[in-house]
Chains A and B, each alone.
Chain A
């Protein structure tokens, strides 16, 4: 489980995250939904421990990543905003390297890689250099790399960005699989229908603040709109004035 409470982060004169709190429970998919520049990536970077919050706290299964970063990351699989792969290495070598960095080795690691490649349908590409891969193929390798150590908590920063319909469907299937096996999945997105189809709970973020949170139905009720898209527009467009809509 991932819990973030009252996060605040300022870069120079710009407040990137003003007041963001959320929980991603085990066996559930939680989305951080918001327009570009809302503070989603910064919030996720605070969760990963790469960025220190000015205020607020984060725990991963009860562990504070600022206190014991290695233990926290062992329980976290993160697909960050930057998803660079090593172009001269093959897909398998890329994933194997990260497995080694997570302390894995030998047959256990090789079996895990084979399992992930089968799940993500990367089999035929496994031993080709990543340099020639398409966007979707790179994304699959990056996801395999992020979860190679089988972490209970998975954080995905805009995982569907730049993917075609088929890749998005494959990704959705993979995320549902994680949920079924009891993982806590937290992902950020600015695409409403993707969130509606997948998520158990949604945290709507705008201007660095949480403007609403709850299930799809709850959000629709709050804004009195029929679709999530309209609810989203209503929530984010009038962000400063809708704090009364926040679900406690």
Chain B
């Protein structure tokens, strides 16, 4: 004879076997872990590349021969001067060049007379990706202008300091960890999302799907108690969600290890200890996501309807994630007890290189589990209602 735990296990084993044989369940189980990291690493690569300061710049200059001094200064600033295009405006507009410098005909003449000749810098300020190049070119041009001005003041017997009211020096306080935090914040968001996505299809298949296919009534006619049936389904959905979380984290870690973050002055990636802490934070959330999804899907008449409810439900973790990536909150005990938001706070602190006290992790896990049990009990109660069982 089987007792309560034996029944729960029998239900879970059946649902897992059924889920593994369902192509759609398996696709959502296996594809999500791959999609997240691909997006993250693509994003990181482009961001890193754009932020790189010492990348050689090739700058088209129209009329370079008229200003050998300027060209020499640009070359010294790490900018390779190449011949300018016929039509600088369309070259910039089409994106062929990030910026084009035009040296006017009268440049040499104006220089000889000690006047300030015109130099045009053609840019498209709307193009996000050309901004770093434009900034460096205009800095180089400005520093040439300052040097030239200083030399002229000296020639007239005036100290160049007179022309500079205040000398501004920028001191960058960002640490490698804090710089990479901005980028790595996306990682926990994906792992957290995995906790929501992993059991979603299975949860709707086990509730709305069971009713839609007419197997719910026979199931409820067995002597098995409602709470054992629901607990078994909950266990199966939790296994799927936990598996997706682990796969997503593994794939993301692998993808991150292939992005050369350290070369750009950022922390190499998430260390094994950090990965473990992400797992310790997110895994205890999976029983809750699974239980809530079962509860929500039980109200739907068909699998399709359940999936609409559940995809709306998925916005829940995204909103605090977006907020926290802009405005980090320090995780305390009280905040840790709030599911999802507490987990987000723990994760984003982790990414910033801070580790919250173990009690915060414990509180987060215990509160998730307690709420999960509550949701399981509520779902079991739903299946005692004629309206839910017969979908009236």
Interface residues of A (CB under 8 A from B): 11, 48, 50-52, 69-71, 73-74, 76, 78, 80-89, 93, 97-98, 100-105, 142, 145-146, 149
Interface CB pairs A-B, < 8 A, 20: A50-B221, A50-B389, A69-B223, A73-B223, A76-B221, A78-B221, A86-B215, A88-B18, A88-B21, A89-B21, A93-B17, A97-B14, A98-B218, A100-B7, A100-B10, A100-B14, A101-B11, A103-B1, A104-B1, A105-B6
Q: How far is the CA of A145 from the CA of B225 in the complex (A)?
A: 17
Residues on the A chain within 8 Å of B222, using CB: 73, 98, 101-102
Q: Mark B1-22, 1 if CB is under 8 A from A, else 0.
A: 1100011001100100110011
Residues on the B chain within 8 Å of A149, using CB: 223
Q: How far is the CA of A95 from the CA of B220 in the complex (A)?
A: 15
Say how far A10's CB is from chain B's closest CB, in angstroms: 12
Say how far A189's CB is from chain B's closest CB, in angstroms: 19
Say how far B137's CB is from chain A's closest CB, in angstroms: 63
- For the complex of A and B, list the 10 residue pairs with the smallest distance between their C-beta atoms, beginning with the closest: A84-B214, A84-B215, A82-B214, A101-B222, A100-B10, A88-B21, A101-B224, A84-B213, A82-B217, A73-B223
Residues on the B chain within 8 Å of A97, using CB: 10, 14
Residues on the A chain within 8 Å of B224, using CB: 70, 101-102
Q: How far is the CA of A102 from the CA of B229 in the complex (A)?
A: 12
Partner of B213, one of A52, A71, A87: A87
B21 contacts A52, CB within 8 Å? no
Indicate whether B386 reaches chain A with its CB closer than 8 angstroms.
yes
Q: How far is the CA of A104 from the CA of B2 in the complex (A)?
A: 7
CB closest chain-A residue, reference B225: A70
Other CB < 8 Å A-B pairs besides A101-B11, A101-B219, A149-B223, 4 of them? A73-B223, A101-B229, A105-B2, A146-B221
A51-B386, A87-B213, A89-B18 known; A101-B10 Cβ under 8 A: yes
Indicate whether B216 reaches chain A with its CB closer than 8 angstroms.
yes
CB closest chain-A residue, reference B3: A103
A82 contacts B2, CB within 8 Å? no
Interface residues of B (CB under 8 A from A): 1-2, 6-7, 10-11, 14, 17-18, 21-22, 210, 213-225, 229, 386, 389, 392
Say how far A150's CB is from chain B's closest CB, in angstroms: 13
A101 contacts B223, CB within 8 Å? yes
Q: How far is the CA of A174 from the CA of B22 in the complex (A)?
A: 34
Say how far B169's CB is from chain A's closest CB, in angstroms: 69
Q: How far is the CA of A145 from the CA of B217 in the complex (A)?
A: 13
Q: How far is the CA of A86 from the CA of B213 in the complex (A)?
A: 8
B386 contacts A100, CB within 8 Å? no
Q: How far is the CA of A84 from the CA of B6 in the complex (A)?
A: 24
Partner of B220, one of A50, A52, A105: A50
Residues on the A chain within 8 Å of B18, using CB: 86, 88-89
Partner of B221, one of A48, A71, A85, A103: A48
Q: How far is the CA of A142 from the CA of B222 in the complex (A)?
A: 13
Say how far A100's CB is from chain B's closest CB, in angstroms: 4
CB closest chain-A residue, reference B6: A105
A100 contacts B2, CB within 8 Å? yes
Residues on the B chain within 8 Å of A76, using CB: 221
Q: How far is the CA of A19 from the CA of B161 in the complex (A)?
A: 107
Residues on the B chain within 8 Å of A52, using CB: 386
